[in-house]
Amino acid sequence: MLNIYTLMEQLYSVTPVQSKYPQTRNFRSINTLPKPFKRKWRNDSTGKCNKRLFQLHYVAAPNKTRILKMNFILIDATPLHIPGNKLEQPAFRKFLEKYCNRHIPNESTLRKNYLKKCYQVRLEIIRERLCNTNIYIQVDETTDACGRYVANILVGILNECTPLVSYLINSAALEKTNHSTVARFINDSLTLLYAPNPVKLENVKLMLSDAAAYMIKAGKALLVFYPVLIHFTCMALALNRLAELIRAEYPSVNNLINNGKKVFLKAPLRVEFYKEMAPGLPLPPEPVITRWGTWLNAALFYADNFVKIKEIFLSLDAHYIALRSCKESILESSIFEDLAVNKAHFFMLAKAIMELETTQLSLNDSFSIIEKVIEELEKLETKLGLNGKVFYLAILNTNK
C-alpha cells in the first residue's frame, strides 16, 4: 500500500485549494488529509500526527497546469509498480476521485496525449546527465507475445569505480534479426540520445551484449563509426555456458536432479512422506536451465543432504518412472563423489553468476569476479578443469 500512498500524496498536492489570494503560497494541513495518510504519518512515540513536519506544500496554479501535472504524475506511476491499465478498475478510480477531488482520465487518454510528452521530459533529463561524459550501451533483442523482434538499448555513465546505473532510451520492433538491423538500431538510438546535436563518437566507449553471432558482427560493423568502441559480451552468459559444460560431464548427477524434481511434483502423498522423514528440510530444488546457476545450486543441495535424500528415495515405492531413475542414479558408486566435486570446485560459478547479476555493480568489481573465476579454473587439474578454462577464455577472446 505504500506505493498507493505515494501516488495519492502527489495527486493530492495538485488539487485546487480555495484561497483568498489565488497566486500566493498556501499550505494544506495534515488534518485535511484522508485517514490513510494520517495513519502513514503518525508518530509512533506519541501516537499523533506531526503537523509541522508533514504539511504539504502547494502553489496555486491555473487549472490546465494542475491537470497537466496530475496526468504526468499518473504516467510516472509506472516505477511505483502501478500499470496504467489499473486506472480502468472501478474501485481504484473511485478511490482516487474521492480523495483527490479530481476527475481521473482514462488509460487511453494518458497513453495517447501524455505518454510521449512524459517520455520527452525523461529523455531530456538523461541527455543532461550523459551529454559530456563517457558512456556505455547495453543492447538486447527478444521476441514479444506477438512474435515480433523487439530490440532494447540502455545507456549509462562509464566509470570504473562507481556503480553503473542504466537508462532505457529506446525500444523498437525490427523487421528481422541480423547484424545490419541491430547496428542501425544502435546508431539511430544514439542519434536520438544526442539530438539535436551530432553524436559524440569519442564518448561511446563500451558496448555490452550477449554472445550471439549477429551481435558480435554488429559490434565489428559499428567500429567504422565509433573508433574507440569496445564490444564486450555478457560474462554471466559465459558462466552459464560453462555450467552447461559441467552438467554434460556429470550425467548421473544431472539425471538425479532432473528426476528428483519430478518425484514430488503434484504428489501430495509423497510430499507429506518427505516432510515426515525430513522435517524442516525443503523439497529438492527445481532447476531451470534458463535461470543461470540453478543447476549448480541443486547439485549443492543434494551434496549437503545426500544421506537423508537417499534414505527418502529408497523408502518410496519404485512404480513411478522418475523415482526409479532417481534410485538408479543414487545407488551408483560414483554419485557421491561427483556431487562432492561439484560442491568443492564449481559452486563458485553459481556464486559468481549471482554476483554479476547484482544491480549497480562497478566495473572494477565485475572484473574482480571474472578474475577469481579464472583463478579457480586454473587450480583444477582434471580434464574438465582444463576444458572449462579453455572454453571460458575462448568466450573472453571474442571481445574486441
String of DSSP letters for 116-169: HHHHHHHHHHHHHHHTTS-EEEEEEEEE-TTS-EEEEEEEEE--SSSPP--EEE
Alpha carbon of 392 to those of 216, 290, 387: distances in Å? 16, 19, 8
pLDDT(153) > 90: yes
Q: What is the pLDDT of residue 22?
A: 39
* Residue from 333, 345, 348, 343 nearest 384 by CA: 345
Position 95 confidence tier, pLDDT thresholds 50, 70, 90: confident
Q: 28, 58 in Cβ contact below 8 A?
A: yes
Cβ–Cβ under 8 Å, residues 148 and 173: yes
Interval 185-202 mean pLDDT = 91
Strand residue runs (E) in the chain: 25-28, 56-59, 135-143, 149-157, 167-174, 204-209, 230-233
Task: Note the pTM of the prediction, 2 decimals.
Answer: 0.67
- Computed over every residue of the chain, the mean pLDDT equals 77
Tell me the domains of the chain and their CATH numbers. 2-113 (no CATH), 127-233 (3.30.420.40), 237-396 (no CATH)
Is the pLDDT assigned to residue 341 strictly greater than 80? yes
Would you state the pLDDT for residue 137? 93
pLDDT in tens, 229-250: 988 888 877 788 778 878 888 8
pLDDT per residue over 291-325, tens digit each? Answer: 767 888 888 999 999 999 889 888 887 777 888 88
Mean pLDDT of 56-64: 41
Please tell me the least confidently modeled range out of 20-24, 182-186, 312-316: 20-24
Cell numbers of 9, please? 500524496
Say how far apart CA 178 and CA 217 lie, in whole Å.
Answer: 9
Residues 6+ apart with CB under 8 A from 234: 208, 209, 210, 211
Mean pLDDT of the region 84-88: 78
Between 16 and 238, where is the model more confident?
238
363-379 helix and 383-396 helix, angle to the nearest 10 degrees: 150
Among 296, 289, 292, 308, which residue's Cα sits nearest to residue 339? 296
State the Cα–Cα distance between residues 84 and 256, nearest whole angstrom: 45
DSSP conformational letter for 282: P
Which range has highest mean pLDDT (47-56, 113-122, 204-213, 371-380)? 204-213
pLDDT the model gives residue 93: 81
| Banded model confidence at residue 46, pLDDT cuts 50, 70, 90 | low
Q: Which three cell numbers stand for residue 91?
A: 474501485
The answer to which of 6-15, 177-186, 277-286, 300-309 has the lowest mean pLDDT is: 6-15
Predicted confidence (pLDDT) at residue 260 exceeds the cutoff of 60 = yes
Among 233, 248, 250, which residue's Cα sits nearest to residue 329? Answer: 250
